[in-house]
Structure 1
Amino acid sequence: MQSKVTTLEVARCICAADEFGRKMGLHITMGDDFEAYVGITSRLPGKSPTYPSFRSDCSDLPPGKAFWIVGRDREGRVAHVQALRLDHLSNTDLAEHLGSLRAWFADPNLKVGPGSSSRCDAPTARSITGLVAYHGDIWLREDFRGRGLSTFIGHIAFGLAWANWAPDFIYVLVAGWHIEKGVVDRYGYLHCEPHGSVLHLPAHGIDDDDWLIWLTRDELLKTLLHHCGRQIPGMGFALVFKSLQSYMGAKNGRHKIEFQLG
């Protein structure tokens, strides 16, 4: 399916998601400076701390390998965050990657702290290899919940992940209540297995038993293209497409992109 989908089509889907977010009062920016990102997320009331996987003092997050998304309300206050990173797992698999703690630390021997452990008991994780995108640190301010933004959160992430990396898989790790309440269904994910990440990091205050949720590359595209289906005014689309080209072509330095539509 990938060969039949152009970057232009995916950019149009990103525009559609961004337009929906704006109508709901969210103005989206993205960037790759994770020191700045943690500076934002650490000040958000009610949000759990950003995990080491998206902290530049724990993980290797160079431009081109990871990016964050921040949504602000009409007054400029942060109302939404999420982040994505790409891992090259051609010579290993997701179960080993999670179990080794390399999903959270560039060098687990230096950063994990005493009493730390990790394992992945989700059977399909052994088959998740190649270019694998991790989607996490998702937070939406309470006054924006219940307004249909879960689908927006998933689709803006799916579109940008494909535009940047075209990963073989994209996955997220979530607590059981996300399954019970159907949150991951609204994001657009199709598959789930329990005990995807049984993670104990006492030094970081983490004690999790999360579900593994994922999509294949073809499923990501089908989900994205099925839901976008909205024409975007030409000028706004051109600006977003130019921003995508700039982001995908950048190899050095840090930068932020603002989506401006309409």
Structure 2
Amino acid sequence: MKVAISTDQGYVSAHFGRCLSYTIIEIKEGQILSREEIPNPGHQPGFLPQYLSEKGVSCIIAGGMGPRAQDLFAQKTIETVIGVQGTVDEVIEKFVNQELEVGDDLCGHKHGLEEHLPIEHHVEHIPQTAGIKICITSKGKDLDSEVDPQFGRAQYFLIVDPETMDFEVVNNPNIEAAHGAGIQTAQLISNKNVGAVLTGNCGPNAQRVLQSSGVKVITGVTGKVEDVLSKYKSEVK
């Protein structure tokens, strides 16, 4: 069988259609016969299922995928495995050994097959969406804390409901990661029903992962978390 894995810089992409490339492996009797990485040719409606079907792919692995896309793959008898995170090498090994763990859809189903929101860098341009939470990188566990200037290696993430100001504290498990902290952290936050991320700095790979899940990224943010939230809310009224 042939398996296609949505790939971004050696990691499983959070969204199958907006990844940089696809890693295609051929497996027979538990052995990998071949492996190649091909660039993403783009994805007009129905194109990728047809394209990968013509390459003999029978299974696609990705971080997330909307229901419409899953239906299109099903029509081509291609199995979809979503909610997968980690490096491509690790995922291949686990898949071959039938140990692959599947989590929640990282795409969040916030958009359709073709709808992807652009990255924004200024608070005043970010519309507020009812029911969508805001994630702020923080040096502490409360709203009085300072914004952490780093995204991938931020100490904490405060997931805030802008209407009630209720918030959840998320410890960052990737602070000590040897590499890929930004991408892994972006995958974590993409799974938190977040509509926007406010931070000091966010690398391009992490931004790409967040964007592919419909999360807006606002960089250059400094000060106390509570003040930043107040500014955000006043700017969009």
Query: TM bucket by the smaller chain?
Result: under 0.3
Name the structure with the higher helix share.
1
> Whose Rg is larger?
2
TM-score under structure 2 length normalisation: 0.25
